[in-house]
Structure 1
Amino acid sequence: MSATANDDLIATIRAALAKVIDPELRRPITDLGMVKSIDVSPRGDVHVEIYLTIASCPKKSEISERVTQAVADVPGTAAVQVTLDVMSDEQRTELRKRLRGTGSDPNGEPVIPFAQPSSLTRVYAVASGKGGVGKSTVTVNLAAAMAARGLSVGVLDADIYGHSIPRMMGSTDRPTQVESMILPPIAHEVRVISIAQFTKSNTAVVWRGPMLHRALQQFLADVYWGDLDVLLLDLPPGTGDIAISVAQLIPNAEILVVTTPQLAAAEVAERAGSIALQTRQRIVGVVENMSGLTLPDGTRLQVFGEGGGQQVADQLSRAVGADVPLLGQIPLDPALVAAGDAGVPIVLSTPDSRAGKELLGIADNLSARRRGLAGMSLGLDTTRREP
């Protein structure tokens, strides 16, 4: 093989490697500086050296397989050998800066990308007045449905004490840390971060308010989320520390209230939504879960009563002086429970079920919305003052 032909083949191989996407960072490995070298023998045998971010990279086998396949598909190549190396501290620092910038503001405070005026990410804080209404079920299904529609989606499990998102998303992977940057695991094409990924087994988290705030801040600022279209936060029930911290850290987050049809539960859910009056956040809508059970003969049994979702929507509309719609009513369905336990959201496992269709409809409604100034608080004081 002539020198010119060798150089041309190397250039073709590099172009092929530009199509290999890192499974964690979701960027081409060539853009990330992961291709260390490419050597081609006179017979066409190829030796590629690849940099890993860390030696214990959980995706190294997958990266090696993707590189091998990409090179093997290039015409003119023979045997392919892939060798893995590890980035130096300097290279990791450069990678972090390339992806996240400096990571802090002039005062040294971590930068939360979703709180910046230039952010185009829709942030939905999924809230409920009390536990057990299916808030996490709604969160994971909306996330999976949006991702299946082609959106870039992330889920932050902000329920530090009652975390359940990894289990319901079927994720057992742990985050990878590159310096101060945390790479979240990806499940069903959704980036997922939870305190459960940092604890052993089913260990309880025993923290006071300041620790909760710091954990939330770190998940928002230190995690590499990429360019998200939508970020969903699964909040703990009630109006405690985390709800207040979300309002402080991401004031543009919109609240999605989940309730059951029971009127007593609806009254509690109204409190979760009414926090928006104090934080000046927008309420995007209400979702009624456990909305009746369809029996084998086709009749519908209202196990938890009816009307709660519409009552919450009506009361919040009056309270905020703007329309707060009832986005959907998700029926009781044993398949919904089974899907959560299996780690495959029902919108993926049984999308044609009644619950699946209702959740897909809610997801489509939220996905179709584009960020603009309409409905957003500009922080202006409209009180007239005499000169």
Structure 2
Amino acid sequence: MTLEPRLLEALATVQDPELRRPITELGMVESAFLTDGTAQVKVLLTIAACPMRSTIEADVTAALSTLPGVREVDLTLGVMSPEQRAELRESLVSRSIPFSDPASLTRVIAIASGKGGVGKSTLTANLACAMAADGLRVGLIDADVHGFSIPGLLGIPEARPTRVDEMILPPVAHGVKVISIGMFVPDNKPVIWRGPMLHRALEQFLTDVHFGDLDVLLLDLPPGTGDIAISVSQLLPGSELVVVTTPQAAAAQVAERAGSVAVQTGQKVVGVIENMSAMVMPDGSTLEVFGSGGGAELAGRLELVLGTKVPLLGQVPLDPWLRSGGDAGVPLVLSHPSSLAATSIVAMARALTHRPRGLAGMKLGVTPR
């Protein structure tokens, strides 16, 4: 007997660290049987140079060692054949964009800003980690191709995706699946691309990268209303926008343009975030370094332009730990979760994800009898 049910049941608790699916579902378990107290198991890796080899080995050994009657685990790691990889790829990847399917339950939220320097990428990284910490399955695309920064903010500046033939498995940081053009560019070299190449890069991220089933997909957009913003609306017509600004009136005026693009694209602006709000001083007083009222002003302007309710999701106070957390690769919501800025970001993350999702018009796969 090459596949013993009791061992398979234990192995079903082991997930591939990159695909985030049980190794039994992925066809990675070639044999598993028990002989005189020794669990003899052979697991097939997707590629020989699998970066998670040691993790899989440790997880399999730990899962089997807890079974009654198992005194020793004899684990052999093999490699899938080209035919097995092709079968795995076919079972996982569709050449279409899964998140653009009207039946998809993944909430796609693009984080936009009118100009750079408002902390949009830092907020995006923190929102993603806050959602993942709440138990959601979260993906994050660094769509700012020219100014990519998400890998560094999440502490994986040297991370490289795993390729299984034409399928790309995104690295995972703090429970978030992440992809960025920075993972393909050596030595921090600049990316000098024009519109068609930018569109193609985003399209490949959405089709070739296997995110699996997600609750939320966040996109960190470049500032302004350029090629990527237009491509997002074309490739992900059901995506929603969150606009980030600072309290400064001039910044809010520029940010209005980033939100107003929804008039042409048909996207919904689900909220405004005011970053770098009043800084709380040690004596409890506040210092408005960048002024006040920009977030509320922007939300009001967008309501007039779009004709729909645009809430001010929250105000993130200016906090040195927010910057230092990004520099260290451990976002504030994880490094200093009790800080005012962190609690504000967590509240905004929950406001975005806890809205009800209607099932009207969606195919449920149920056939009446």
Tell whether the structures are fold-level matches, with TM greater than 0.5. Answer: yes
Determine the structure 1 residue equivalent to 2:226: 240
1:197 to 175, 183, 189: 183
2:82 to 63, 76, 89: 89
1:53 to 23, 46, 51: 46
1:32 to 14, 23, 26: 26
Are residue 369 (structure 1) and residue 355 (structure 2) matched?
yes
Determine the structure 2 residue equivalent to 1:153: 138
Q: What is the alpha-carbon distance in structure 2 between the residues aligned to residue 8 and residue 76 of structure 1?
A: 18
Deviations along 1:173-225, one digit per CA (max 9) or x if unpaired, are 21111122111011111100001111112111111111100000000111111
Determine the structure 1 residue equivalent to 2:366: none
- 2:204 aligned counterpart, secondary structure: helix
Q: Percent identity?
A: 60
Q: Offset at 1:38?
A: 2.1
Q: Offset at 1:370?
A: 2.7
Q: What is the alpha-carbon distance in structure 1 between the residues aligned to residue 252 and residue 148 of structure 2?
A: 23
Give 5+ residue unaligned stretches, structure 2. 361-369
Determine the structure 1 residue equivalent to 2:106: 121
Determine the structure 2 residue equivalent to 1:69: 62
| Higher alpha-carbon deviation: 151-160 or 199-208 | 199-208
- 1:330 aligned counterpart, secondary structure: strand
1:23 to 11, 17, 27: 17
Q: What is the alpha-carbon distance in structure 2 between the residues aligned to residue 318 and residue 143 of structure 1?
A: 29
Query: Relative to 1, partners in 2 of residues 1:373 and 1:87: Cα closer, same or farther, differing over 3 Å?
Result: closer
Determine the structure 1 residue equivalent to 2:124: 139
Are residue 130 (structure 1) and residue 124 (structure 2) matched?
no
Q: What is the alpha-carbon distance in structure 2 between the residues aligned to residue 201 and residue 10 of structure 1?
A: 48
| Higher alpha-carbon deviation: 44-53 or 134-143 | 44-53
Q: Offset at 1:372?
A: 3.1
**CA contact 2:43–2:76 (8 Å) conserved in 1:** yes
1:261 to 247, 258, 265: 247
**CA contact 1:9–1:76 (8 Å) conserved in 2:** no
Determine the structure 2 residue equivalent to 1:348: 334
Moved over 6 A (4+): none
- 1:289 aligned counterpart, secondary structure: strand
Q: Offset at 1:296?
A: 1.7
Deviations along 1:135-168, one digit per CA (max 9) or x if unpaired, are 0111011111111111111100000011010111
Q: What is the alpha-carbon distance in structure 2 between the residues aligned to residue 187 and residue 140 of structure 1?
A: 10
Q: Offset at 1:40?
A: 3.3
TM-score under structure 1 length normalisation: 0.90
Q: What is the alpha-carbon distance in structure 1 between the residues aligned to residue 303 and residue 325 of structure 2?
A: 33
Determine the structure 2 residue equivalent to 1:165: 150
Higher alpha-carbon Rg: 1
Q: What is the alpha-carbon distance in structure 2 between the residues aligned to residue 372 and residue 130 of structure 1?
A: 34
| Higher alpha-carbon deviation: 139-148 or 365-374 | 365-374
Q: What is the alpha-carbon distance in structure 2 between the residues aligned to residue 22 and residue 304 of structure 1?
A: 46
**CA contact 1:124–1:232 (8 Å) conserved in 2:** yes
**CA contact 1:259–1:265 (8 Å) conserved in 2:** yes
Are residue 225 (structure 1) and residue 225 (structure 2) matched?
no
Determine the structure 1 residue equivalent to 2:364: none
Give 5+ residue unaligned stretches, structure 1. 1-6, 105-110, 375-387
1:289 to 264, 267, 275: 275
**CA contact 1:266–1:311 (8 Å) conserved in 2:** yes
Determine the structure 1 residue equivalent to 2:161: 175
Q: What is the alpha-carbon distance in structure 2 between the residues aligned to residue 132 and residue 186 of structure 1?
A: 26
